[in-house]
């Protein structure tokens, strides 16, 4: 099988992270996988591909803010690749690269199949253009059963063309800290080992609901004077959060830890006592939630999106409806007040990931979905 994996992004985040994981799974199974991404905007995907030995399909712009010349160039380049049958499957991850694949493959389908990852709420909003595009798509990948229903019921997608492929993490890389080992996160933030540290690892933007978490921490200040919140990440919403923290007088309780990646990211999780995940990012698989659970952390998660199907209430963590700040505070207080619950939920969280959300499970499921799509008549 020859698969071209595309993403109209230039940085290792969200869908790009899953794209590389898919490429590794395909290569390990003996198939040919190549990746293509945004080469116009600055980014680090080329470095990542070279470091991991992932094959690049060069010569494509794939910019989400393209010039007319770039669009014409990409359509011609893709059509030439597909005419030469250099891909059995094109698996796209953003609307831009998806539409390029659909247009460039017109009249060339034969054994070729177009697959799209449809993970965000925007991907599921019914529009005329989206209905037409999905009708011409051979397979649509989603991370949850709820999104599969939305595609079928809201957009009229044939259920045979929808594959539910949950997110995945590497449980060897993301693993609990060795007992007694000092925390690098706590060292950098100046937090003692006996301080209860809650953390959220997510891009700082309003839709990730950091502001609700800050409000919840403010309400717990009197009952849990040694509770601290570490906000790990970067983004356009940071300044507004800093203003909120200052307005509430939480400069001591809320700490901005900055952006952590690679091995540092694992160290960030290992420094926490409780992990919070309130809303999915742009890949829709709640990867950050799975990373935290793989590190053996109890979680407080928003009862929506992928988290609602990952977290087992009263077993691996607590689920809180979106916008319910008092409920969020109660969930944090419940875990903050019980070391036994934190320990039991954390152990169960890691077991949950090991049982269902690893690349060892996703790889075969992805291949099975590809083969299933190849057996169906071309959607076009």
CATH match of 184-356 with 3.40.50.2000: yes
What integer pLDDT is reported at residue 329 of this predicted model?
Answer: 98
The arithmetic mean of pLDDT across residues 21-47, rounded, is 92
Residue pLDDT, tens place only, 276-309: 999 998 888 999 999 999 999 999 999 999 999 9
Cα 135–76–162 angle (5° rounding)?
Answer: 25
User: What percent of the chain has a predicted confidence (pLDDT) above 90?
Assistant: 85
What integer pLDDT is reported at residue 262 of this predicted model?
Answer: 87
Rounded Cα distance between 107 and 86, Å, is: 16
The arithmetic mean of pLDDT across residues 189-208, rounded, is 95
Structural domain 2-168+359-375, CATH architecture: 3-Layer(aba) Sandwich (3.40)
Q: How many CB atoms lie within 10 A of CB 40?
A: 16
For the stretch 10-13, contacts whose Cβ atoms lie closer than 8 Å and that sit 24 or more positions apart, written own/partner, are 10/37, 10/38, 10/39, 10/40, 10/41, 10/42, 10/43, 10/44, 10/45, 11/43, 11/44, 11/45, 12/43, 12/44, 12/45, 12/48, 12/261, 13/203, 13/281, 13/282
Q: Residues 272, 184: contact at Cβ < 8 Å?
A: no
346 φ/ψ angles, rounded to the nearest 5 degrees? -65, -45
Task: Give the residue range(s) of CATH 3.40.50.2000 domains in the chain.
Answer: 2-168+359-375, 184-356
What integer pLDDT is reported at residue 348 of this predicted model?
Answer: 97
Residue pLDDT, tens place only, 329-374: 999 999 999 999 999 999 999 999 999 999 999 999 999 999 999 9
Residue pLDDT, tens place only, 139-155: 999 999 999 999 999 99
User: What percent of the chain has a predicted confidence (pLDDT) above 70?
Assistant: 99
- Going from the C-alpha of 52 to that of each of 45, 56, 131, 360, the distances in angstroms are 11, 11, 36, 18
Average pLDDT along the chain: 94
pTM of the model: 0.94
What integer pLDDT is reported at residue 180 of this predicted model?
Answer: 63
Confidence of residue 121 (pLDDT cuts 50, 70, 90): confident
- In sequence order, which residues have a C-beta less than 8 Å from that of residue 109 and are 6 or more positions away? 378, 380
Query: Is residue 254 helix, strand or coil?
Result: strand
């Amino acid at each position: 099988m020859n698969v071209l994996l595309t993403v109209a992004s230039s940085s290792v985040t969200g869908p790009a992270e899953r794209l590389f994981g898919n490429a590794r799974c395909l290569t390990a199974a003996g198939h040919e996988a190549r990746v293509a991404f945004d080469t116009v905007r600055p980014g680090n995907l080329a470095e990542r591909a070279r470091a991991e030995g992932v094959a690049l399909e060069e010569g494509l712009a794939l910019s989400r803010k393209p010039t007319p010349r770039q669009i014409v160039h990409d359509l011609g380049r893709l059509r030439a690749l597909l005419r030469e049958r250099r891909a059995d499957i094109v698996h796209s991850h953003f609307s831009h690269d998806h539409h390029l694949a659909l247009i460039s493959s017109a009249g060339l389908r034969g054994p070729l199949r177009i697959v799209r990852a449809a993970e965000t709420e925007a991907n599921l909003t019914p529009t005329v253009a989206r209905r037409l595009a999905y009708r011409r798509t051979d397979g649509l990948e989603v991370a949850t059963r709820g999104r599969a229903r939305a595609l079928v019921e809201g957009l009229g997608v044939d259920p045979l063309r929808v594959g539910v492929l949950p997110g995945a993490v590497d449980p060897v890389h993301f693993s609990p800290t060795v007992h007694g080992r000092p925390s690098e996160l706590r060292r950098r933030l100046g937090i003692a080992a006996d301080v209860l540290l809650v953390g959220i690892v997510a891009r700082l933007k309003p839709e990730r609901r950091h502001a609700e978490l800050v409000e919840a921490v403010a309400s717990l200040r009197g009952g849990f004077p040694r509770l601290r919140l570490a906000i790990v990440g970067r983004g356009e919403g940071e300044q507004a959060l800093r203003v909120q923290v200052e307005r509430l007088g939480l400069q001591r309780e809320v700490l901005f830890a900055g952006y952590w990646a690679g091995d540092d990211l694992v160290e960030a999780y290992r420094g926490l006592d409780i992990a919070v995940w309130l809303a999915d990012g742009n890949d829709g698989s709640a990867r950050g939630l799975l990373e935290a659970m793989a590190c053996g952390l109890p979680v407080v998660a928003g009862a929506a999106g992928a988290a609602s199907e990952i977290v087992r209430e009263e077993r691996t963590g607590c689920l809180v409806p979106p916008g319910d700040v008092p409920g969020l505070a109660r969930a944090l207080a419940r875990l903050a007040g019980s070391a036994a619950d934190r320990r039991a939920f954390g152990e169960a969280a890691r077991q949950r990931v090991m049982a269902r959300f690893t690349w060892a499970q996703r790889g075969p499921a992805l291949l099975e979905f590809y083969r299933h799509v190849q057996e169906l008549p071309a959607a076009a």
